[in-house]
């Protein structure tokens, strides 16, 4: 049996690494992957607590998070494709149209 602290450390590490990626990387694709990492960290925490309380709600919620992540990835990648067509760039620093 694993102490519940360990998966929380894992979740924490994944989340922080994902956050670093989102903050630091300029490539949109890698930023999207980092977001997936963050979601994964949240999932790990959910499952860890699900195990802690012996309650399946956490796992069900984690499943929903996976579904939402899938939807997010689909739309996000579609946007990336669309952006790349018009800008020929995956660098977020070039994508400043939000300003207008």
The answer to whether the beta carbons of residues 87 and 43 sit under 8 Å apart is no
- Residues between 5 and 44 with contacts to another protein, criterion CB under 8 A: 5-27, 29-34, 36-37, 40, 43-44
User: Smallest gap, in angstroms, from Cβ of residue 52 to another protein?
Assistant: 4
User: Smallest gap, in angstroms, from Cβ of residue 35 to another protein?
Assistant: 10
**List of long-range contacts for 3-6, beta carbons under 8 Å, 24+ apart:** 4/48, 4/49, 4/51, 4/52
User: Smallest gap, in angstroms, from Cβ of residue 5 to another protein?
Assistant: 6
Q: 53: which 2 tokens? A: 């309380």
User: Smallest gap, in angstroms, from Cβ of residue 89 to another protein?
Assistant: 5
Q: 46: which 2 tokens? A: 């959910």
- Residues between 65 and 84 with contacts to another protein, criterion CB under 8 A: 66-75, 77-82, 84
- Size of interface with another protein, in residues (CB under 8 A): 87
Instruction: Tell me how far apart the alpha carbons of residues 20 and 60 are, in angstroms, rounded to a whole number.
Output: 28
């Amino acid at each position: 049996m694993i102490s519940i602290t360990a998966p929380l450390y894992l979740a924490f590490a994944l989340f922080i690494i994902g956050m670093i990626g989102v903050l630091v990387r300029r490539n949109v694709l890698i930023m999207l992957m980092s977001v997936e990492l963050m979601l994964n960290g949240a999932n790990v925490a959910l499952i860890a607590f699900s195990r802690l309380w012996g309650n399946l709600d956490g796992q069900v919620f984690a499943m929903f998070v996976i579904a939402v992540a899938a939807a997010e990835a689909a739309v996000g990648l579609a946007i990336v494709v669309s952006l790349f067509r018009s800008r020929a760039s995956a660098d977020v620093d070039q994508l400043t149209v939000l300003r207008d």
